[in-house]
Structure 1
Amino acid sequence: MRTLNLGILAHVDAGKTSLTERLLHTAGVIDEIGSVDDGSTRTDSLALERQRGITIKSAVVSFVIDDITVNLIDTPGHPDFIAEVERSLGVLDGAVLVISAVEGVQAQTRVLMRTLRRLRIPTIVFVNKIDRRGAHGERVLRSVAERLSPAVVPMGAAYGLGTRGAGFAPYDGTETAFVSGLAETLADHDDALMAAYLDDAAVLPYGLLHRELAAQTRRAAVHPVYFGSAITGAGVDALITGVKELLPASERDAEGAVLGTVFKIDRGPAGEKVAYVRMLSGTVRTRDRLTFGRDGAGKVTAISVFDQGSAVPRESVEAGRIAVLRGLGGVRIGDTVGGTGVTGVTARTGVSPDGAEHSRVSPEHFAPPTLETVVVPCRPADRGALHAALAQLVEQDPLIDLRQDELRQEISVSLYGEVQKEVIQATLANDFGVEVTFRETTTICVERLTGSGAAFEIMGKDHNPFLATVGLRVDPAPVDSGVEFRLEVELGSMPFAFMKAVEETVKESLFQGIHGWRIPDCTVTLTHSGYAARQSHSHGVFDKSMSSTAGDFRNLTPLVLMSALQQAGTAVHEPMHRFRLELPADVYGALLPVLARLRAVPRTPSTRGDAYVLEGEIPAAQVHELEQRLPTLTRGEGVLESAFDRYRPVTGAIPSRPRTDHDPLHRKEYLLRVVRRIAGG
């Protein structure tokens, strides 16, 4: 049987969880359709999800369409939980992007579609809620073509919009206008078809065009559009037909080598770690020993496979399926199971030489969180329990990015927004019994090099107390290129373990630049190296005071790196959001001074009927205030979309961030804290 891993994505409240319920009902998996408002849906299983009526965690259900097993992943729509969507993208064969026929294309819709197109994930668009008052058909279709992708193909006509009798009539190839438009759209993406179309569009049979539509949809070149209602079921049968015929279901190699990707981590009733794995090839059986990540390994103690809406215990799971594996205690999100290396979202927890802990994540598809806050336990005695609880939350959501300051005994977390903060607070209280409050939410900036710099320290000279020689040069690097470590010394000039210690410490230290912010992009070159060879006394006992250790290099490297950074200079950059604001024309003048005070940079507005459409950019730190003030300023008629765009240099006072390390910018204090052996005064 073929399998299709299908994602349901949407802006919050577009109706994707309701659509999931309708699909399960139509496929015969459930007898009654659950309600988001009543908290009775199959995929919103968390108490918090039922209380709030929103999806917080991605969930997997399975159903069968003819000879295709569909593993359906319902993802959160609220932008604060974009990390859940992030982790699901890597396991998808195709997607259904849900849009409300009332609200139309929204901010999160655009972010999702840009990402789906960039990753070339085959996508069908479903315009939901055609039965709701205020629903639009042609206007939403134009908006999809203008703001999401011009290569859209309406697969039928909606009728009775805004009424309970609203429905969808799929085209069957007898409609001249539809066939002509389909041929024109498909010809734009295929030279042979274009030649045939230009020769005589009338001779292109619909069967040929439909096959080409399926091929181009699977290449993510075009996007079929269906209309319907998840509540009434209108258009859902046509959507299911489209999923079956147009998206790329396939058979996998169950006899090959085991290979899978971990896209979600959860905890079982007894606190055991549970890994959600998409099986790419091979077959896994209980009691099999699997490797994962870079050097992890564990024995599979239990397997569950999604079948007809539920996770069912099985003795094995084969390629193409999504499985829940137990027994892999050290597994993390993004790990490759059965292969080598790490794929998808790489998340690791590192500990710097001073003991400060940082969870590190390399996001693949979406912008990182731009906000952070300090989490404060209401009872000081809960400090240890708070750390343990947050560590578990980081396992499940690496983009929370736990940052522990041992010096001040504080823990901070990264956030996408205020709703996520409220959910973390409720989760800590409900699941772990830890009551917390938060400090004021602040913006996460980054530092970028403004020039190049170099520094070195020679073993035995200039009050260097470490048995190590380290020289480093730092150079700017293009945005989003990451940190690259290079060697300008010969690879054999000192033991590889010492070079590795320098490289790891450099990358760890760059989490806190001159002003305390992470330096995400730069090139660091090792220019000088030297060490004291292993020496022993006459009785043969190794003597640390005479021989270099990796600790010498880990302790010296931050001093050298910070000296090089000070010579190079850094500039602090703040996150900026692009915004799109629809508002009544008569309030435009009153809004401009507010935007100026919030340091927004608007562009020239355009008109849409009796409304203005204003686009521009605004500091991420000011978005929340604009959202709060907008209803009053626009009589409740303003509609704001915003999404992260870029970092730009801070103007005015330079914000700094308290350091969590032993502060290598101040040499004397640093040495007092880290040196256990001071040679030569």
Structure 2
Amino acid sequence: MDSETARRNHRDEVDRRRTFAIISHPDAGKTTLTEKLLLKGGAIHEAGEIKARKANRHARSDWMSMEQERGISVTSSVMQFKHRGFALNLLDTPGHRDFSEDTYRVLTAVDSVIMVLDVASGVEEQTRKLMEVCRLRDIPIITFVNKLDRFGLPPLEILSDIEETLALETVPLSWPIGMGDRFRGTYNLYEDELHLFSHADMQGEHERLAIDSLDDERLDDILGEQADELRFDIELVREAGDSLNLERYRDGIQTPVFFGSALSNFGVGDMLDTFVDIAPPPQPRPTTTRTVDPNEEAFSGVVFKIQANMDPRHHDRMAFVRVCSGQFERGMTVTHSQSGDTMRLNNATAFMAQDREGVERAWPGDIIGIMNHGTLKIGDSLCAGDPVEFTGVPSFAPEHFRKVHLEDPFRAKHLGKGLTQLSEEGAIQVFRPLRGNDYILGAVGELQFDVVLARLEDEYNVDARLSGVNYTCCRWIEGDPTIVEAYESDEISNLFRDASGALAYLGLSTWRLERMMEDWPELNFKKTKEHVTTELATS
């Protein structure tokens, strides 16, 4: 193959990839929508298979059984499937708000997002938080308003809620005809088609009817009095609403909106067809020195997630790597940018939910898993050409804090190892005071503490307990080294090092934090930082 043909093939592989995540508030229908997308892509063959796969995974690990017992999901997974010749990489995310930091990091690895809203609730708290992260990268968003076969908020109120709460322009590409027991289907404004819903056929493809215009008499025959309601709504939407602008959508300013019912498999196909048409292919990604284009010849990738001990018998550590440029090939040698060491990638895997299979090659946008023994950490970069270090994989200031107490002091090294590895995953943040040897754990959500205790016991044979502390906020400190040194000397009792060695202030109140910031205006008190982790001291 000549070089020009190779470049053209590479561009074709990049252009047909879509790497995305689904975000929602718990119980909005994210898992159901994921399942229906995989059914359409042929990645699973029957409803309920995703839940069955999760159940099998739970059985392999005690801490995963916590997910079953509490009815929550605390880990992310990767699923690849095909649709209309496109290769889709779907990154599933935790559904519980206490594990949203894992979702934040997953969002750094995608090029677009599908946002699921419950028609009865509109925009909810977790959705607002996740949207804040999407805005950091101007991620394009398609909205799917779910559960139209139940009664909920009027469609115009849903659109108004999105625009006012999330500051997004809305462009409805389908419009519901009634809801609840009056739900008759949707009108596809993108294709000028009527899609009819059958309450009797909950899993069918549902009937589609192409019509010449809304004046078509067949609307009256099929919809009765709801035909005039539909005509009024569509005229209002077209007169007052915005038109789809591909550039504004891809800039994260405008969101196309679809209405449907994931449980009934209604509206999912319309949304997916439009998604593959308009969602962006893999995008350029920033590094500390330059922007890396996916069409570059040299392979590069970034670690956005670590999962340790997926199989406790082998204490395996899987690094999830987003391919950013070039082509991955099994057995290739790459440079670990952070250490300068070389690695031979012989055993990379591709994902279908929790199933793994060896991968011979992968392209920008694809996600590969690399087994390692702690060498790779969140935020690390792998390169076959000139080393680069990708940016934009954040840690967020924790909001909840606990002090660790070790029941057996002879297990101190095991405790340090366990906390090191769990912090590498991003499961928890670990702080040690500049004066003293206590471990202080920080978390975005309180349920993270329960998971950490369970995993310390099950995976590291460490019996620990946690007690409350008075800290309420955290900020990382950056600034001129001379000023930072003076600050450390004056405020040593309030200062800590995190697992990466970064200096952090843990405050007893927001008022004290504000006073601290006023007293030290030359310093930066940061709520986020790039995710880097090193070995914790165990002294």
TM-score normalised over the length of structure 1: 0.57
The question of 1:574 aligning with 2:486 is answered: no
State the alpha-carbon separation in 1 of the partners of residues 463 and 333 from structure 2.
39
Answer yes or no: is the 8 Å Cα contact 1:302–1:315 preserved in 2. no
Cα pair 2:329 2:361 within 8 Å, conserved: yes
8 Å CA contact 2:77–2:354 kept in 1: the answer is no
1:438 partnered with 2:438: no
Distance 1:56 1:77 in 2: 7
CA distance in 1 between counterparts of 2:410 and 2:382 reads 39
Task: Indicate which of 360, 368, 379 corresponds to 1:323.
Answer: 368
Partner of 2:275: 243
Alignment of 1:59-98 (within 5 A): 59-98=77-116
Write the distance in 2 (CA, Å) between the matches of 1:275 and 1:519: 25
User: 1:516 — aligned with what?
Assistant: 494
Q: Deviations over 1:213-267 (max 9, x none)?
A: 3333222221011122222212111211221122113598577011111111123
SS of 1:332 mapped into structure 2: coil
Q: Which residue of 2 aligns with 1:259?
A: 300
Shift in Å at residue 136 of structure 1? 4.8
| Aligned counterparts, 1:112-127, within 5 A | 112-127=130-145
Correspondence list, 1:184-203, <5 A:
186=242
Which residue of the other structure, out of 320, 326, 336, is the alignment partner of 1:292? 336
Question: Is it true that 1:219 corresponds to 2:263 in the alignment?
Answer: no
Distance in 2, Cα, partners of 1:130 & 1:159? 9
Give the corresponding residue for 1:594. none
The verdict on how the C-alpha distance between 1:571 and 1:255 changes in structure 2, with shifts beyond 3 A counting, is closer
Aligned to 1:369: 398
Aligned positions of 1:555-634 closer than 5 A: 574-575=509-510
Cα deviation digits, residues 367-418 of structure 1 (max 9, x gap):
41122111223444433322222211111117x2212469765322111232
Shift of 1:60: 0.7
RCO higher in structure (CA 8 A, sep ≥6): 2
Judge conservation of contact 1:574–1:649 (CA < 8 Å) in 2: no
Please state if 1:401 is matched with 2:429.
Answer: yes
Counterpart AA for 1:116: C
Q: Aligned pair in 2 of structure 1 residues 179, 75: CA closer, same or farther (>3 Å)?
A: farther
Shift of 1:170: 2.2
Aligned to 2:348, what secondary structure does the other structure show? strand
Relative to structure 1, is the Cα distance of residues 290 and 114 closer, same or farther in structure 2, using a 3 angstrom cutoff? same
* Aligned match of 2:478: 483
**Number of the residue aligned with 1:103:** 121
Aligned-CA RMSD value: 3.8
5+ long unaligned stretches in structure 1? 187-208, 347-361, 448-479, 487-501, 521-560, 562-569, 577-618, 620-646, 651-681
**Alpha-carbon separation, structure 2, partners of 1:231 and 1:155:** 20
- Cα gap change, 1:85 to 1:266, in 2 (>3 Å): same
The offset of 1:333, in angstroms, is: 0.6
Task: Return closer, same or farther for 1:334/1:414 CA change in 2, 3 Å cut-off.
Answer: same
Q: Whose radius of gyration is greater, 1 or 2? A: 1
Partners of 1:159 and 1:168 within 8 A in 2: yes
Deviation, structure 1 residue 309 = 8.1
* Aligned counterparts of 1:306 and 1:278: Cα–Cα separation in 2: 12
**Residue 311 (1) aligns with residue 306 (2):** no
Structure-to-structure mapping, 1:480-559, within 5 angstroms: 483-485=478-480, 506=485, 510=488, 513-517=491-495
1 CA distance for matches of 2:50 and 2:489?
Answer: 41
CA distance in 1, matches of 2:234, 2:418: 56
Cα distance, 1:318–1:55 mapped onto 2, change above 3 Å: same
Supply the AA of the counterpart residue of 1:280: C
Partners of 1:216 and 1:391 in 2: CA distance: 42
Q: Kindly tell me: are residues 514 and 134 of structure 1, through their superposed partners in 2, closer, same or farther at Cα, counting changes over 3 Å? A: same
Q: Distance in 2 between matches of 1:277 and 1:385?
A: 28
User: 1:277 offset after TM fit, Å?
Assistant: 0.9
* Residue 38 of structure 2 is aligned to residue 10 of structure 1: no
SS in 2 for 1:60: strand
Give, in whole Å, the separation in 2 of the partners of 1:416 and 1:309.
Answer: 26
Say whether the 8 Å CA contact 1:373–1:438 is kept in structure 2. Answer: yes
